[in-house]
Structure 1
Amino acid sequence: MSYQLSAVVADAEVLREETRDLDHAVLAALRQDFALLPVTPQLVEELTGAPPDYAVEKPDPKHPFALALSPALTEVLARWSRRGPVAYVEAEFAGGLGYQAAVVWLQGERSWGPLFDSAFDRPRGQWPVNAALVELGVEPGAWIDPFAELGLHVERDTAGWLAHGRRGLSADYWDDLAEEWEERQSGVGQQPDGPRSVGDWGIP
């Protein structure tokens, strides 16, 4: 099953303040009072005044992102980071193969990254998205890593995150539905399957 992510992640209040006057900004709620802003071509053009550029070649350590982080876009994200740390995170997987990349700004400057990985032979906490989320201040919790702790596994692509944000869903929406289903099934004497584990990529 495929997974694709191109988003800004930051404290929810920071993103609400910085995007409240934008026509193409849709915020999706995450856990720990963070939010995710899906990065669409329309949003990039609204922020920078120009359409986005995308890499022709596959991302690699020297060119870690499919989306070109232009000086204009970088300036916007750096400006937002004066209110608190801001991360741009990118990931793409299909058939178990893919990559992650991330970068963080703080106080108007790039403070961490960019970091790229497609081998995933390091400890899970050192994977790019996990490491960037720690830089944002994500705390450990019941889930396997910061990626899952915030709920970045609950949608699988930009369209899913846009729908998530527009519907005002929480990161626990699917878990809440599962619990409701389990309660209904147990009420009629049936035993549902146990909860699914989070997979190797932080995706169920």
Structure 2
Amino acid sequence: MDIQWINRHRIDIDGVGITSLVSLPGCPLSCSYCINKEILKREDLIKTISEEDLIDILSIDHSYFLYTNGGITFGGGEPLLQWKHLLRFASLCPSEWNLTIETSLNVPTKYLEPLLQKNFSFIIDIKSLDTRIYREYTGRDNHQVLSNLKLIRRRIPSHKYAIKVPIIPGYTDNKSQQDSIYKLREFGINQETIIPFTYITP
């Protein structure tokens, strides 16, 4: 598994309880306001590590995870690009750890589907459900996002995922944010899983 860094003792930021954020390199998008854009380009920060060794490193906080119902959050970048490693990590780590993936969902479905059989939760940043806005902001279309989002809705319970719907300065406003939320509800997404927020831009 390729990782860039580990950020320990994050409280109620990337999931429930105390979590360790493991940042993974690589992303299919070119978002205008990516907070990690320059870091993701730095190959000198990338370290290749086995899933067993990563578990050993993270185990230092095992007690915190148990007492707070916390665990590991994989961010990036796009963690789903390393789906095979995530699958193996989940099969080896303590079952009490809650595992969360922060994702744009803009990856082939074959990367996502095997992970739905494991005990992963998902934090999904959909950017915008407006195809034109999404392409202008990320450089990609969002057809794969919509397909994967519908799969998640069908396959896992709503408490296992949260969908972030941002206002992106210069790209979306309150109206377009509400339009995206409306479309999500049309898909059958539970309102309680939708998190409106505003990007803080440089």
Q: TM-score, normalization: structure 1?
A: 0.31
Of structures 1 and 2, the one scoring higher in RCO (CA 8 A, sep 6+) is: 1
When Rg is computed on C-alpha atoms for both structures, the one with the higher figure is: 1
Q: Larger helix proportion, structure 1 or 2?
A: 2
